[in-house]
């Protein structure tokens, strides 16, 4: 049976969707004030090894953890770093593979661009940058 710390890490990651170990630790500090960042690293490493969580390829942000352990595609905002799960249709994957003349990795693709929140903030200077993806109200 998982420890209280492991259960709380899993529940918090499920709430966040995607997070670095540091972001996860920051979100856990109120619930588990004695949990160190090193302990969060150990717990998430075990969860990754067991296939209970996944990770998202990132550009130097360190490991980004994902509640979904199975391979899937992501959109990453190049402005705010927000990450959203997406599904790239098989026909699009086939077209990309045909252009490359090679087979794509089966562990998911990462599409990069500017999210709607950042695009809106860029066109409307009076609007503060919002959290992405937006939390359900």
With tokens 């959109």, the residue in question is 75
Q: Are 132 and 121 in contact (CB under 8 A)?
A: no
The 10 Å Cβ neighbour count of residue 100 is 9
Residue-level pLDDT, tens digit, the chain, 137 residues: 789 999 999 999 999 999 999 999 999 999 999 999 999 999 999 999 999 999 987 766 678 999 999 989 999 999 988 899 999 998 998 888 888 887 766 778 889 999 999 999 888 755 444 455 555 54
Stated as kind and residue range, the H or E segment containing 64 is strand 64-66
CA-to-CA distance for 82 and 69, rounded, in angstroms? 18
């Amino acid at each position: 049976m998982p420890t209280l710390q492991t259960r709380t890490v899993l529940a918090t990651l499920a709430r966040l969707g995607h997070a670095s170990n540091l972001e996860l630790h920051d979100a856990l500090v109120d619930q588990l004030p004695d949990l160190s960042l090193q302990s969060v690293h150990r717990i998430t490493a075990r969860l990754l090894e067991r296939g209970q969580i996944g990770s998202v390829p990132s550009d130097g942000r360190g490991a980004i953890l994902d509640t979904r352990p199975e391979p899937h595609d992501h959109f990453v905002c190049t402005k705010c770093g927000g990450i959203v799960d997406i599904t790239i249709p098989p026909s699009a994957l086939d077209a990309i593979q045909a252009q490359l003349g090679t087979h794509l990795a089966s562990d998911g693709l990462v599409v990069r661009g500017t999210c709607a929140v950042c695009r809106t903030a860029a066109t409307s200077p009076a609007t503060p940058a919002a959290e992405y993806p937006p939390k359900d109200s």
